[in-house]
Amino acid sequence: MLKIIPLGGLGEIGLNMMVFEYDETMFIIDCGLMFPEDYMLGVDIVIPNFDYVKKRYKKISGIVLTHAHEDHIGALPYLLKEINAPVFGTPFTLALVKHKLEEFGLIKKVKLHEIAPREKLKIGHFEIEFIRVSHSVIDGVGLAVKTPVGYVIHTGDFKINHSAADGMVTDVRRFAYYGEKGVLALLSDSTNVEKEGYTLSDQAVGETLKKIIFNSSGRVIIALFASNISRIQQIVNIARDKKCKILFNGRSILVSVDIAKKLSYLNIPHDMEINLSQVNDFSDKDILIVTTGSQGEPMSALARMSSGHHKQVKIKQGDTVILSSKFIPGNEKAITKVINKLYKLGAEVIYEKISDIHVSGHAFQEELKLMINLTRPKFFMPVHGEYRHLILHSRLAKSVGIPEENIIVAENGQVICIDENSFDIKEKITSGRILVDGKGIGDVGRSVLKERRTLSEDGLVVVTIVFDEETGAIILGPEIISKGFIFCNETGHLLEDAKCVVLEIVEECAYDGDILELVENVRARLKTALKQYFYFAIKRRPLILPFIMEV
């Protein structure tokens, strides 16, 4: 039987990674990351658990990428540190991957193979065709996987847009072609299943942006995702019509723009682009700045502008700032903080809640229905979404004729076995999330996060005592220092009273000649007693850290 094993992306947004396995051949679709949730204090990124593929690295024949977003390629360098496998993708996707691998020092180790839409790739028992899909990043593809048990269609992230700004429309004819041949299973993007109707057209967004830019009397600053090359081309065209100069600012956007220009996916008149040193050489109405920071990232160019820390660009009265992207859940506070700062500096701020200046890259309900009707699969499996998205997508599939018993609602780590006539969810393998914190990979777990949360909410109290090894008498201390707990000048008596609690504990732990036993007894009882005391006195539970030594 064919095995399909999701290692990420089911029951969550991001972390997309899936394994196809038949006999002794395995290949991987995507290897994405997820940005940390609120409770993951200090964590930089989250990547999938690779244990399953690491143990079977000899069977892995390739890694196939659907598009260049971080939630699909961001964890790839971490996987390629562990296994050696060729990587297949479209030109723009692989160009961004190459840049990542250079940063990780892996470029000489990994073989990258460009595959164009409608080209086929042979991997062991599998034959894979790339099918063009429209998305919010160029060069996105879905996959038609020919397996020994039948065709499996994986949509990747997609929408069905017949007027894409970049001309890269979803190849509905090819999906329909496989529907005619007979599709065993459809694995379809569920991200926007809650949205009724169809996605807004790129042309409509372009018209809205044009009106805003032409009606602005000062500088226009547009923040967006660096990988949204089609939107950048729209903005370039508008700036050209207005006879503006365009400036790109922000590391990630400069990388994406440079790659897109080299691949001829982005066309900018040679005399139109300027650099930061030329900002003051032109009047405000003749400058359009494209930058990063649409999600309120603290170190992004827009965040530095809003806080007045950007060296070359200072926000002023008359500026128009456009956030041409959606508010990603979890980023709302950071984004609104930046918006408020921009308003304080005198700028006019336009964002998705007050104007149609962004279009989603994920299919709405009618497009999802169309994909099902184009491919007419025997089995249907919703992917890429939180659990509610998967359930709603499964109901949508049922409403267009997929039998309930042929719908697979799976979870990460479950092994889905499919043959020509049936499917079965077998055992659950090791999966989950690995937290990356600085250079540490997987060394931050629940206990560390719990301690960080305690420190952030209740603070730290450090108690130092030094005993005489021979007599068991205190020769230094007790000294008590607090960090993030109380303001000592206001409630200094609290720590002084806490010293009395410590001394009482020491008196109760009688010294019988064994200094190590005394130290352990004091340490254990001291933690409990101080926690009880602080909670009784001030209703807080700080982390108690005792340093007890003997000399």
Residues 263, 98 contacting (CB under 8 angstroms): no
Cα angle vertex 478, ends 475, 479, to 5°?
A: 120
Give the residue from 109, 100, 95, 84 showing the smallest Cα distance to 32: 100
Place 32 in a pLDDT band, splitting at 50, 70 and 90: very high
Burial of 159 (0-12, 13-18, 19+ CB in 10 A): buried
Considering only 23-27, 351-355, 401-405, which range has the smallest mean pLDDT? 351-355
pLDDT the model gives residue 444: 77
Average pLDDT over every residue of 492-502: 82
Eight-class DSSP state of 257 = H
Whether pLDDT at 202 is above 90? no
pLDDT tens, residue by residue, 306-321: 999 998 999 999 999 9
d(CA 468, CA 369): 78
pLDDT tens, residue by residue, 58-117: 999 999 999 999 999 999 999 999 999 999 999 999 999 999 999 999 999 999 999 999
pLDDT the model gives residue 489: 54
Considering only 239-253, 277-291, 496-510, which range has the smallest mean pLDDT? 496-510
Partners of residue 223 on adjacent β-strands? 291, 323
Whether pLDDT at 22 is above 80? yes
Place 165 in a pLDDT band, splitting at 50, 70 and 90: low
Q: State the pTM of this model.
A: 0.85
pLDDT the model gives residue 487: 63
Give Cα 336 distance to the centre of its chain.
19
Average pLDDT over every residue of 477-495: 74
Whether pLDDT at 130 is above 80? yes
Catalogue the active-site residues: 189, 362
d(CA 82, CA 546): 40
d(CA 50, CA 438): 19
Whether pLDDT at 547 is above 60? yes
Spans of all domains in the chain: 2-197+360-438, 202-350, 446-550
What dihedral angle (degrees, nearest 10) is formed by the CA atoms of 40, 45, 51, 56? 170
Residues 20, 60 contacting (CB under 8 angstroms): no
Sign of the dihedral through C-alpha 388, 393, 398, 404 = negative
CB atoms within 10 A of CB 194: 13
Place 305 in a pLDDT band, splitting at 50, 70 and 90: very high
pLDDT the model gives residue 492: 59
Considering only 3-7, 39-43, 114-118, 154-158, which range has the smallest mean pLDDT? 39-43
357: enclosing H helix or E strand: none
Q: Which residues contact 340 (CB under 8 A, 6 or more apart)?
A: none
Q: Which residues contact 87 (CB under 8 A, 6 or more apart)?
A: 62, 63, 65, 76, 80, 94, 97, 110, 111, 112, 113
Whether pLDDT at 195 is above 60? yes
What region, left, alpha or beta, does residue 139 occupy, with left being phi > 0 and alpha being psi -120 to 50 degrees?
A: left
pLDDT the model gives residue 543: 85
Is residue 329 reached through a cis peptide bond, with omega within 30 degrees of 0 on the bond before it?
A: no
Q: What is the mean pLDDT of the chain?
A: 90
**Encoding tokens for residue 403?**
């039998």
The amino acid that residue 160 corresponds to is I
- Architecture of the CATH domain 2-197+360-438: 4-Layer Sandwich (3.60)
pLDDT the model gives residue 424: 93
Average pLDDT over every residue of 292-301: 86
Residues 460, 466 contacting (CB under 8 angstroms): no
pLDDT the model gives residue 460: 85
Place 536 in a pLDDT band, splitting at 50, 70 and 90: confident
Burial of 329 (0-12, 13-18, 19+ CB in 10 A): exposed
101: enclosing H helix or E strand: helix 91-103
Domains 202-350 and 446-550 share a fold: no
pLDDT tens, residue by residue, 419-444: 999 999 988 898 989 888 877 787 77
pLDDT the model gives residue 393: 98
Q: Which residues contact 519 (CB under 8 A, 6 or more apart)?
A: 467, 548, 549, 550
CATH number 1.10.287.1770 is the correct assignment for the domain at 446-550: no
Give the residue from 494, 423, 486 showing the smallest Cα distance to 458: 486
Whether pLDDT at 239 is above 70? yes
Average pLDDT over every residue of 247-252: 93
CB atoms within 10 A of CB 172: 17
pLDDT the model gives residue 134: 95
Edge-to-edge strand ranges of the sheet holding 112-114: 112-114, 87-89, 60-64, 25-29, 17-22, 2-8, 414-418, 423-428
CATH superfamily entry for domain 202-350: Metallo-hydrolase/oxidoreductase (3.40.50.10710)
pLDDT the model gives residue 341: 95
Place 55 in a pLDDT band, splitting at 50, 70 and 90: very high
Considering only 137-141, 354-358, 463-467, which range has the smallest mean pLDDT? 354-358
498: enclosing H helix or E strand: helix 488-508
d(CA 290, CA 236): 9
Q: Which residues contact 3 (CB under 8 A, 6 or more apart)?
A: 19, 20, 21, 22, 415, 416, 417, 426
Partners of residue 121 on adjacent β-strands? 128
pLDDT tens, residue by residue, 314-358: 999 999 999 988 877 667 888 899 999 999 999 999 988 777 788
Average pLDDT over every residue of 541-545: 85
Phi then psi dihedrals of residue 308, to 5 deg: 80, 15
Sign of the dihedral through C-alpha 347, 352, 358, 362 = positive
d(CA 422, CA 295): 44
pLDDT the model gives residue 488: 57
Whether pLDDT at 445 is above 90? no
Is the pLDDT higher at 161 or at 265?
265
Residues 31, 17 contacting (CB under 8 angstroms): yes
pLDDT the model gives residue 171: 96
Considering only 44-48, 176-180, 210-214, 344-348, which range has the smallest mean pLDDT? 44-48
**Encoding tokens for residue 61?**
């024949």
**Encoding tokens for residue 303?**
């965040």
Edge-to-edge strand ranges of the sheet holding 45-48: 45-48, 433-437, 440-441
Average pLDDT over every residue of 377-401: 97
Give the residue from 464, 451, 461 showing the smallest Cα distance to 523: 464
d(CA 237, CA 315): 24
